[in-house]
Amino acid sequence: MSDEKVLKKEKVLKDKINDASRLLQTARDEIGKRIIGQQDMVDGLLMGIITGGHILVEGVPGLAKTLMVKTVASVINADFKRIQFTPDLLPADLTGTMIYRPQTGEFVPRKGPVFTNIVLADEINRAPAKVQAALLEAMAENQVTIGDNTYRLSDPFFVMATQNPIEQEGTYQLPEAQLDRFLMKLKVDYPSPQEELAILDQLEDTSELVIRKVFNRFAIQDIKETAACIRVDESLRKYIVSIVNASRVKGRNQLPFTRYIEFGASPRASIALYNCSRVQALFEGREYVIPEDVKAVAYNVLRHRIVLSYEAEAEELSSDDVIKDILAAVTVP
C-alpha cells in the first residue's frame, strides 16, 4: 500500500473517531441535563452499550439509578423495561412462557420483559439463584428459550443490574462466577453538596426539560466498529495482561498486597480492560490507547472480579484498595 493510501486511510479513521467522540459527548451532555453529577456512571453505561457488555451498579436508594438508565435509553432512542427482583419471582417472569389460546387450541409464546433493548434489573440480589441464572444466561447468550423455540434478543441488548449494599436480609448473593459475567461494577456515591444544590435548583425550574434523541441503534453499531479500530500497542496489551496477572496466585511474585487476595481475575478481565480502554480513548477523541485509559477503567472492571482473603476483611480493606496496590506495582509502559 502506498504512503498516500495509508495517509488517506488514517485520515478517514481519524474523522470517524472525531465524529463518534462528538456524538458521545453530545449524549453525555444531554444526559447531564437531567442527571446532576454521576459522570462515572454515565460513562460506564455508555461503555457497556458500546462494548456489548452489562453493568452491575451498587448504591443506596435515591441516587437516581433508575432515572439514569431511563434517560440513557431515551438519549440513544432505545426501548426500556424495568424488572423489580423479588423473592417470589420466577424465571418465566423474565423470559416469558407458553400460554394456551382457546380460539386456536394452540400454545403460543408470550415473551417476557427481557425482550427489549435496555433492561433495568432492580435489586438483582433479592431474587433466588434460578432467576438470577435465567437473566445471566440471557446476558451471555443474547437469546432465550421459550418452550421448544429459541428467540434472539434485541440488538442492542443491555442489562443494568442494581444491588443495595446496606440491606442484606432476604438477599441472595451473586456467586463470583456470575459476577464475572458483568463487564463492570460501578459504585454510586452520594452527590457533593454543590451537586445536591444543583438538583434543588433544577426543581425550581418550571420549564419542561427536553431530552434530545442523539443517535439510534444503527449509530451504536457504527460507534462499535469505530472503537474496534482504535489501536492498542503491544506494550499496552502486555500492560493489561500484567495488571490482571498480578491479581492471580501465579502472578503474585511475593508482592506485599498478595496476602489480601484469595482469587484473582479471569481472562474475561483482560478482555474487558482491552475493550473498555478503547472506548475510553474514543471518549477522548484519540485513535490509540494510552496507559491512562487502562487506569481509568481498571477499578470498575476489576473490583467485582477479585475475591479478597480473610486477612483483607480483618483489616477492612476493599477491592479498590488492592487494585490501587496492583496498579502501583505494575510497571507502566
pLDDT in tens, 195-245: 999 888 888 776 677 888 888 878 899 999 999 999 999 999 999 999 999
pLDDT value, residue 235: 95
Residue 4 has pLDDT above 60, yes or no: yes
Question: Using CA atoms, how far apart are residues 265 and 301, in angstroms rounded to an integer?
Answer: 10
Model confidence, pTM: 0.90
pLDDT in tens, 298-309: 999 999 999 888
**Nearest to residue 27, comparing CAs of 46, 3, 8, 40?**
46
pLDDT value, residue 252: 52
pLDDT value, residue 70: 93
Q: Where in the chain is the domain with CATH 3.40.50.300?
A: 22-199
Average pLDDT value for residue range 300-322: 90
pLDDT value, residue 3: 65
CATH of 22-199, one of 3.40.50.300, 3.30.470.30, 1.10.10.10, 3.30.590.10: 3.40.50.300
pLDDT value, residue 68: 92
pLDDT value, residue 48: 94
pLDDT in tens, 72-131: 999 999 999 999 998 999 989 998 888 888 888 788 888 889 999 999 999 998 888 888
pLDDT in tens, 239-289: 999 999 999 866 555 677 888 888 889 999 999 999 999 999 999 999 999
pLDDT band at 1 (very low <50, low <70, confident <90, very high): low
Question: Using CA atoms, how far apart are residues 93 and 304, in angstroms rounded to an integer?
Answer: 27
Residue 177 has pLDDT above 80, yes or no: no
Q: Which of 4-8, 60-64, 164-168, 251-255: highest mean pLDDT?
A: 60-64
pLDDT value, residue 60: 87
Class of domain 230-329 (CATH, top level): mainly alpha
Classify residue 329 by burial, with Cβ atoms within 10 Å: 0-12, 13-18, 19+: middle
Average pLDDT value for residue range 125-151: 86
Question: Using CA atoms, how far apart are residues 76 and 78, in angstroms rounded to an integer?
Answer: 6
Q: Which residue has the cell 472525531?
A: 18
Q: Which three cell numbers stand for residue 6?
A: 495509508
E-strand ranges in the chain read 55-58, 80-84, 96-101, 106-111, 118-122, 143-146, 149-152, 158-163, 184-187, 261-263, 307-308
